[in-house]
């Protein structure tokens, strides 16, 4: 399939994931419109993206000789109107995502793929909020998305072939491999990973082992690359708790009910790397 002559990606949400995805897209020479409701958040995101681009270049993760795309920031969702694809990357709260997707759907041209970067909210559920459900699908970029080469793509029951093809093509242009799965709460990666992290937090909360011991055992005995609790800090403990709550409410699986220790850390503002403290201090 031939590539479009012009691409512009809009990303809604300038937090950890939105910034990382923006760095990935910009690093492949594609302009980005980054939208958030808060000017201070956008300023911080611009600094973070510049740092991530430098890191990606040092790691050899970007195509050689490609000038970064232009970054435009905005506090108005109307500025997504000219995008050839829109990626929603706000907090993992179903009502908030539905509200943003409804506004984006009304703003863009028909035929524009709408991509919810969700770790577990079913696309069928979010599709009720958009004008054209056939244009909506899900992605689950992993953090840091400018380094991780694979992306889980969730196809909702109403998602059309054209939207799937467009997103796979975009990911290919970003040198990412798309793995397409059917719609379900948590899809594949979150349905497996998040209950495991939750169990690790519960073990620590019960006093069976320290944070360090849990991660060391998972790394040394079971081959986990970083340990589940370091991974939790990278995800963001607030995002993890929200995602687990989504899974628990939609599956009834008790292993997904957020652990008391996890919820306590969120209440204390210890959210992981982004706040400087989570299960570890940074």
User: Which residues belong to the active site?
Assistant: 140
d(CA 69, CA 151): 21
d(CA 116, CA 135): 11
d(CA 207, CA 152): 35
Q: Could you give the dihedral angle defined by the CA atoms of residues 204, 210, 212 and 213, in that order, rounded to the nearest 10 degrees? A: -100
- Kindly report whether the peptide bond that precedes residue 143 is cis, defined as omega within 30 degrees of 0: no
């Amino acid at each position: 399939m031939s590539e479009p002559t012009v691409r512009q990606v809009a990303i809604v949400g300038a937090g950890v994931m939105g910034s990382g995805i923006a760095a990935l897209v910009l690093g492949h020479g594609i302009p980005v419109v980054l939208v958030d409701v808060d000017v201070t958040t956008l300023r911080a995101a611009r600094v973070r993206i510049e740092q991530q681009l430098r890191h990606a270049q040092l790691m050899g993760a970007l195509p050689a000789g490609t000038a970064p795309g232009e970054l435009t920031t905005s506090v108005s969702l109307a500025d997504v109107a000219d995008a050839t694809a829109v990626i929603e990357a706000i907090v993992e709260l179903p009502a908030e995502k539905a509200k943003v997707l409804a506004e984006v759907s009304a703003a863009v041209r028909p035929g524009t793929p709408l991509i919810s970067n969700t770790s577990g909210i079913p696309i069928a559920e979010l599709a009720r909020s958009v004008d054209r459900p056939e244009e909506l699908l899900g992605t689950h970029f992993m953090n840091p998305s400018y380094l991780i080469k694979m992306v889980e793509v969730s196809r909702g029951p109403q998602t059309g072939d054209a939207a799937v093809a467009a997103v796979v093509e975009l990911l290919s242009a970003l040198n990412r491999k798309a793995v397409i799965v059917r719609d379900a709460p948590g899809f594949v990666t979150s349905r497996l990973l998040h209950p495991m992290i939750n169990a690790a937090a519960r073990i620590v909360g019960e006093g069976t082992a320290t944070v360090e011991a849990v991660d060391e055992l998972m790394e040394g005995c079971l081959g986990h690359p970083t340990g589940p609790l370091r991974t939790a800090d990278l995800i963001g403990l607030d995002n993890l708790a929200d995602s687990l709550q989504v899974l628990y409410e939609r599956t009834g699986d008790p292993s997904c009910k957020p652990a008391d220790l996890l919820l306590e850390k969120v209440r204390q503002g210890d959210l992981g790397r982004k706040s400087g403290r989570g299960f570890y201090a940074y």
